[in-house]
């Protein structure tokens, strides 16, 4: 029997099939050890945070249409106190109710009146944008920590492999090194699998905040325009 016939013989093919390794995803994750499990846990936390922020960062939630219409009608009639009350009684606090309600409240108490309205609205708006940014910081933290945990798992796995070589009399067998090397590689893969989508979602959410708050800011400017137009300008002659 020549060499080619030997490799194609039924006995050899059966042996090759029997030595084939079929492993499930859970088995691979289990080989990541404690560090791999930590990466899996923070990935679940990241998914929860992303789902929460996708629900919160929506135009209808940040600027409810019915609230916009009610405030527009009240401000056209110069009913500032009622507009403040409407913002306060909003079913769920929104970007518009916090920014516009807070701005109107501070301007109405100021000695400059509505002349200070735009600056107070801008200040309140920036505070709310900063607060929304902080709500996404957890996703950014996980995106930064996951690859470092993967690297830690890699280092721990390689240390284990070298320990196996050191403590073995004579050459180390492959099965003595396989567990540590497998952990080293799997934790790296897990860390990257978590970090890449977490980084993408963190960037997407921050850009979405910028886009929506800019659009809503233009709507707020439109709402307060009648009050600014009716306010006496500095230096105007008093009769």
What are the extents of the domains in the chain?
Answer: 25-230
pLDDT digits (tens, 9 = 90+) for 47-90: 999 999 999 999 999 999 999 999 999 888 888 889 889 888 87
Exposed/middle/buried for residue 29 (C-beta within 10 Å: 0-12, 13-18, 19+): middle
Q: Share the mean pLDDT of the chain.
A: 79
For position 155, what pLDDT does the model report? Answer: 81
Token pair, residue 221, equals 């400017």
Q: How confident is the model at residue 28 (pLDDT cuts 50, 70, 90)?
A: low
**Residue 18 scores a pLDDT above 60:** no
Please compute the mean of the pLDDT values over residues 153-170 and round it to a whole number: 67
Q: How confident is the model at residue 130 (pLDDT cuts 50, 70, 90)?
A: very high
- Which of 8-12, 82-86, 89-93, 220-224 bottoms out in mean pLDDT, i.e. has the lowest? 8-12
For position 51, what pLDDT does the model report? Answer: 96
As a whole number of Å, the end-to-end CA separation of the chain is: 118
């Amino acid at each position: 029997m020549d060499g080619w016939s030997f490799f194609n013989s039924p006995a050899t093919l059966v042996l090759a099939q029997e030595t084939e390794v079929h492993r499930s995803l859970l088995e691979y994750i289990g080989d990541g050890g404690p560090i791999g499990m930590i990466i899996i846990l923070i990935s679940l936390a990241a998914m929860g945070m992303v789902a929460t922020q996708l629900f919160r960062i929506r135009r209808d939630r940040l600027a409810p249409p019915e609230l916009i219409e009610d405030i527009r009608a009240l401000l056209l009639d110069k009913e500032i106190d009622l507009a403040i009350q409407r913002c306060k009684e909003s079913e769920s606090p929104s970007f518009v109710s916090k920014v516009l309600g807070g701005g109107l409240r501070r301007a109405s108490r100021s000695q400059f009146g509505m002349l200070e309205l735009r600056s107070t609205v801008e200040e309140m708006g920036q505070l709310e944008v900063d607060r929304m940014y902080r709500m996404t910081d957890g996703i950014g933290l996980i995106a930064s920590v996951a690859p470092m945990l993967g690297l830690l798992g890699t280092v721990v796995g390689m240390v284990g492999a070298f320990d196996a070589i050191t403590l073995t009399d004579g050459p180390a067998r492959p099965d003595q090194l396989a567990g540590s090397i497998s952990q080293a590689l799997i934790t790296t893969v897990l860390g990257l699998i978590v970090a890449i989508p977490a980084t993408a979602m963190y960037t997407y959410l921050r850009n979405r905040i910028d886009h929506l708050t800019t659009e809503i800011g233009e709507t707020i400017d439109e709402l307060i325009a009648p009050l600014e137009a009716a306010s006496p300008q500095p230096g105007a002659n008093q009769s």
